[in-house]
Amino acid sequence: MELEYIKQILDSAYNIRPHEVGCDDCEEEMNEYADYVLEEKQLDKPLNLIKDHLELCRDCSEEFQSLLEALNSATGKK
């Protein structure tokens, strides 16, 4: 099963289309995307690409969830 996950990651990395973002771009925009999520704002098109990446990439998604938890903890939200 782990081998299949590794293959999926490699396939994703090599098949990024021009309208998609990779992990590096996602990490750069993650704080801004978190602000939109926490404030429940409507996303602009570039941040929709971050959302799409988080739905496909387990590592970035886990990092994003940790960021949201930290921000919620800092602001006293659940």
The residues spanned by each domain of the chain are 2-75
pLDDT tens digits for range 8-41: 776 666 555 556 788 999 999 999 999 999 988 8
Distance CA 33, CA 17 (A): 21
How confident is the model at residue 71, as a pLDDT?
Answer: 92
Contacts of 26 (CB under 8 A, 6+ apart): 50, 53, 54, 57, 60
pTM of the model: 0.70
The DSSP output letter for 20 is: S
Q: Who has greater pLDDT, 14 or 65?
A: 65
* DSSP letter assigned to residue 43: P
* Residue whose C-alpha is closest to residue 50's, from 24, 29, 71: 29
